[in-house]
Amino acid sequence: MHLKNSKTIVIKIGSSLLVDKNKKIRKKWLSSFAKDIKKLKEKKKKIIIVSSGAIALGCIKMNYNKSNIKLDKSQAIASVGQIELMNLFSKIFLKSKLNISQILLTLDDTEERRRSINAKRTFENLFDLNYIPIVNENDTIATSEIKYGDNDRLASRVAQITNADTLILLSDVDGLFTKNPKKFKNAKLIKEINNLDKDIQNIHTKGITKLGSGGMNTKIEAAKICNLAGCNMVIANGLYLNPINQIEKKNNCTWFFSRISKLHARKKWIISSVSPKGELTIDDGAKRALKNGKSLLAAGIKKVSGKFYKGDHIKILDNKRQEFARGLSSFSSQEINKIIGCHSNEIGEILGYVSKSEVVHKDDMVEV
Ligand code: GLU
């Protein structure tokens, strides 16, 4: 039901779903997962997969034991395993006629606005091209200080920057329980969390934090990020065949519902950004267009002040130099100075590269 209403869905799969305890690759499972994805694509959903498994598959290939490897060695192993991982996806997804691409992210790519806007654009272009982005942390260069460290939080950041409606964390547990289900027979699966901070206090998470590959703590952290981003999240057992279909049919999982609307979350994020780096003064026509929910185009800009980069927070002033809106600029001040007043289809020629035509996209703008 909830998936039906979701346009953009991020699905995280843990290593334990791809590789079993005997270090065998679960190809049958992955084929069934691909079929689920195919069905979602047929319903015109935008899908992003966040997959772990680079280190696990690298270990299998190189005959190492995952538990006693130091960080620098695991980074080298991940660079071998990432190829194995993508080959695996490529082979199996192709059988379901699904095209895939690879995106490797480091912490700054989602934390820094400019880089996150770039990443968001790449995701959007891949959706347009009908390719499914498969994301992992760039393990080969991420050291502990600059690491997400777990794909639960990475997936929630991806959900946040892509404005996703739902994040599915496929794990090896059914979800969140009232007590540790391994110890207590009367432990009950919690089906819905509607008020994260309040509900979590009433749950005995201590005993259940050790379950699952990423642990329950990182999943709760991911839920907090999603909650603030206006994105719903679900923890479900992914060990079954056709895991997405299972969620839709059985709903034997834990849903975290965000009470904030996505647009509200994004706008709040924009308005609460650090001090604006510059100003754009616009003409009356552009002001009218913005009031009607349109994006800001170069043609409507009269003046640029300040020095700023793509993704920076800027003020938008009207003809009387009254602050009218705030937003994130899709171009640097230097670029805007070149394209100011120009028609959107001239931008490519002036700048020498093809770019987006909106100077401030409507989703990146808040009226003040
Ligand atoms: N990025 C790691 C890998 O692909 C996995 C991290 C995680 O499992 O959370 O091996």
Give the start-to-end residue ranges of the domains of the chain. 8-261, 273-367
C-alpha of residue 366 to centroid of ligand 1, in Å: 36
pTM of the predicted protein model:
0.80
Distance CA 206, CA 224 (A): 17
At 255, phi and psi to the nearest 5?
A: -100, 135
Distance CA 74, CA 174 (A): 29
pLDDT of residue 208: 47
Task: Tell me which residue of 285, 281, 274 sits closest to 325, measured CA to CA.
Answer: 281
pLDDT of residue 202: 63
Q: Predicted confidence band at 10 (pLDDT cuts at 50, 70, 90)?
A: very high
For residues 296-309, average pLDDT: 95
- How distant is the alpha carbon of residue 337 from its chain centre? 32
Q: Give every CB contact of residue 290 below 8 A, 6+ residues apart in sequence.
A: 282, 296, 316, 324, 325, 362, 365, 367
Distance CA 31, CA 268 (A): 40
For residues 154-180, average pLDDT: 92
Measured from the CB, is residue 54 less than 6 Å from ligand 1? yes
Measured from the CB, is residue 151 less than 6 Å from ligand 1? yes
Neighbours of 200 (CB within 10 A): 16
In the sheet where 192-193 sits, what is the strand order?
Answer: 99-105, 131-137, 46-51, 8-13, 166-171, 232-237, 254-256, 192-193
For residues 109-121, average pLDDT: 82
Task: Kindly state which CATH superfamily the domain 8-261 is placed in.
Answer: Acetylglutamate kinase-like (3.40.1160.10)
At 323, phi and psi to the nearest 5?
A: -65, 130
For residues 212-240, average pLDDT: 86
Distance CA 352, CA 336 (A): 13
List the single range of 75-84, 99-108, 215-224 with lowest mean pLDDT.
Answer: 215-224
Measured from the CB, is residue 357 less than 6 Å from ligand 1? no
For residues 303-315, average pLDDT: 92
For residues 334-360, average pLDDT: 91
Domain spanning 273-367, CATH architecture: Roll (2.30)
Measured from the CB, is residue 84 less than 6 Å from ligand 1? no
Measured from the CB, is residue 175 less than 6 Å from ligand 1? no
Q: Predicted confidence band at 205 (pLDDT cuts at 50, 70, 90)?
A: low
Q: Predicted confidence band at 180 (pLDDT cuts at 50, 70, 90)?
A: confident
Q: Predicted confidence band at 32 (pLDDT cuts at 50, 70, 90)?
A: very high
For residues 80-105, average pLDDT: 97
Instruction: Kindly state the percentage of the chain with pLDDT values over 90.
Output: 64
Instruction: Using the predicted structure, report yes or no on whether residue 209 has a pLDDT greater than 50.
Output: no
C-alpha of residue 280 to centroid of ligand 1, in Å: 43
Task: Tell me which residue of 325, 347, 319 sits closest to 335, measured CA to CA.
Answer: 347
For residues 245-254, average pLDDT: 94
Q: Give every CB contact of residue 229 below 8 A, 6+ residues apart in sequence.
A: 156, 159, 160, 163, 258, 260, 262, 265, 266
Report the residue count for the chain: 368
C-alpha of residue 89 to centroid of ligand 1, in Å: 16
Write out the DSSP string of 28-54: HHHHHHHHHHHHHHHTT-EEEEEE--H
Task: Tell me which residue of 93, 118, 23, 119 sits closest to 65, measured CA to CA.
Answer: 23
Name the residue of 61, 136, 140, 141 to mutate for ligand 1: max ligand atoms within 8 A of Cβ. 136
Q: pLDDT tens digit string along 127-159?
A: 999 999 999 999 888 776 667 778 999 999 999
Q: pLDDT tens digit string along 45-88?
A: 999 999 999 999 999 999 998 777 887 888 999 999 999 999 99
List the single range of 125-129, 237-241, 262-266, 338-342 with lowest mean pLDDT.
Answer: 262-266
